[in-house]
Amino acid sequence: MKTDNEPISITVEYFAQLRACAKKKEETHNLEQGDLSALYARLKSQYHFPLERHSVHVAVNDEFASWDTVLRSGDRVVFIPPVSGG
Amino acid sequence: MSIFQITRDPIDLASLRSTLLDSGSGGFVSFEGWIRNRHNGREVLRLEYEAYDKLALTEGSRILAELRNQFGLSGIACIHRVGLLEVGEVAVCVAAAAEHRRECFEAVSLAMSSIKRRVPIWKHEFYADGGDAWVQCDHDH
């Protein structure tokens, strides 16, 4: 699908089991559109993440964000698997 | 005063207590979470905690500030350890001081529940049988 939007460049940082699956701490992605759900689906498929989207939270630029947040170039994204501190 | 910290070093419990000393407070309650040797029937050798530091500090501080206001505490503090920990080590300590004991007990208990639910810290357990697992805590112990 062709869009009028310029491609955007974002950084994804990985923690816990998602880091173990991706085998890396972070990477840069160029996206056609800033859709967090689409990004997670793509990474889930690429790295075989065992977690469905509904059990993952997301942070953008070090704050919790909702899945309908539209990403902008330079954003830093973290997908947060179920937490287990304490 | 409310303080949330993450450390790679052993938690200094005496120092945590002394930061909360307050002449207007008659109660002080602290909770320590220890590394237990069993989980779901498997023998645990050690575990590794990992934090998303920046957001963990923001969210942890938010939780403690909320509780401080809610219970009118003179102070509440939490230190969470990350990195490799052995059985018997202290993984987390939460402590609160207030005029009376009741609000201290409640605030510390609620702080632990909220931290376990909201703060981006993860536990990776290593077992005596050679296996390992990322723990998923979906209920409040």
Flag whether residue A52 sits within 8 Å of chain B, measured between CB atoms. no
Specify the pLDDT at position A6.
80
Out of B50, B58, B112, closest to residue A86 by CB:
B112
pLDDT tens, chain A, 86 aa long = 445 568 999 999 999 999 999 999 999 999 998 899 999 999 999 999 999 999 999 999 999 999 999 999 999 999 999 999 99
Helical ranges in B8-52 per DSSP H: 13-20
Angle at A22 between CA B87 and CA A30, to 5 degrees: 140
A85 part of contact set with chain B, CB < 8 Å: yes
Shortest Cα–Cα distance, A27 to chain B (Å): 16
Residues of A in Cβ contact (< 8 Å) with B53: none
How many H helices and E strands in chain A? 2, 5
The ipTM, to two decimals, is 0.92
Judge whether A34 is closer than 8 Å to chain B, CB to CB. Answer: no
Contacts of B135 in chain A (CB under 8 A): 84
Interface check for A12 against chain B (CB to CB < 8 A): the answer is: no
